[in-house]
Amino acid sequence: MRITTTLAAAAALAVSGVAATAGGMADEVMEAPVVMVEPVEPAGSSVSPTYVVLGVLAALLIAAAVNEND
């Protein structure tokens, strides 16, 4: 019984010693803070795609109307 008690006490001391020095004795390393950079959106077109589609549609309708008169 005495060996069991001694062995249990030694195991408890060994485990607590490992937990106490888990970080080591070295100086703390401070990492630089992370800086989030907002992405820059590319400059948009001066002409909306809707106007381009409407222009092409109008050109097609005008071309169809000219061809009907011939």
Mean pLDDT of 44-66: 88
DSSP state of 37: P
Pairwise CA distance, residues 54 & 48, whole Å: 10
- What is the pLDDT, as a whole number, of residue 22? 54
Pairwise CA distance, residues 30 & 36, whole Å: 18
Residue 26 phi, psi dihedral angles, 5° rounding: -70, 160
Query: Does the pLDDT at position 54 exceed 90?
Result: yes
pLDDT in tens, 5-51: 888 888 887 777 655 555 666 777 788 888 888 888 877 777 788 89
- What is the pLDDT, as a whole number, of residue 62? 92
Largest Cα–Cα distance in the chain?
118
65: part of which helix (H) or strand (E)?
A: helix 49-69
